């Protein structure tokens, strides 16, 4: 994922989460907000309670790879904050991918 498509700043995370426009599943919570850009921006968060830094970065890389593959299919000019829940800690990559894609399908309805 290019740096252009990333939500980086804490104040952006806080603003998007305060809007409380979210969709939840067993493994993810996705907050969303409209933006004025021609592309989507994504912020990914994995809490410290899920594991050490190596594990958290590994999970972020998995989520980014899913986003990179399917980003073109769901371009609707929004900012997303994707938060991994505790139930998503010990599941396979395929289950993560399936759940995240289902959430993006719900968002686009």
Within 8 A by CB and 6+ apart from 101, the residues are 66, 70
Cα torsion 22, 9, 66, 75 to 10°: value is 70
Q: How confident is the model at residue 1 (pLDDT cuts 50, 70, 90)?
A: low
Q: How far apart are CA 67 and CA 71, in angstroms?
A: 5
Report how far apart, in Å, the C-alpha atoms of 70 and of each of 20, 86, 97 are: 24, 24, 10
Within 8 A by CB and 6+ apart from 85, the residues are 26, 27, 28, 29
Residue ranges of domains in the chain: 3-107
Residue with tokens 């399936």: 98
CATH number listed for the domain at residues 3-107: 3.30.230.10
**According to the per-residue pLDDT averaged within each range, which of 57-61, 67-71, 103-107 is highest?**
57-61
With b for 16 or more beta-carbon neighbours within 10 A and e for fewer, the 47-68 pattern comes to: eeeeeeeeebeebeebbbebbe
Q: What is the pLDDT of residues 4-57, one digit of tens each?
A: 788 889 999 999 999 888 899 999 999 999 888 888 889 999 999 999 999 999
Share of the chain above pLDDT 70, in %: 97
């Amino acid at each position: 994922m290019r740096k252009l498509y990333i939500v980086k700043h804490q104040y952006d995370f806080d603003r998007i989460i305060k809007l409380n426009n979210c969709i939840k599943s067993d493994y993810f919570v996705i907050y969303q907000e409209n933006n004025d850009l021609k592309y989507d921006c994504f912020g990914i968060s994995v809490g410290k309670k899920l594991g050490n830094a190596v594990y958290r970065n590994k999970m972020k890389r998995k989520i980014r790879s899913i986003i990179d593959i399917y980003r073109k299919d769901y371009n609707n000019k929004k900012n997303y904050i994707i938060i991994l829940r505790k139930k998503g800690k010990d599941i396979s990559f395929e289950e993560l991918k399936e759940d995240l894609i289902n959430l993006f399908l719900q968002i686009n309805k």
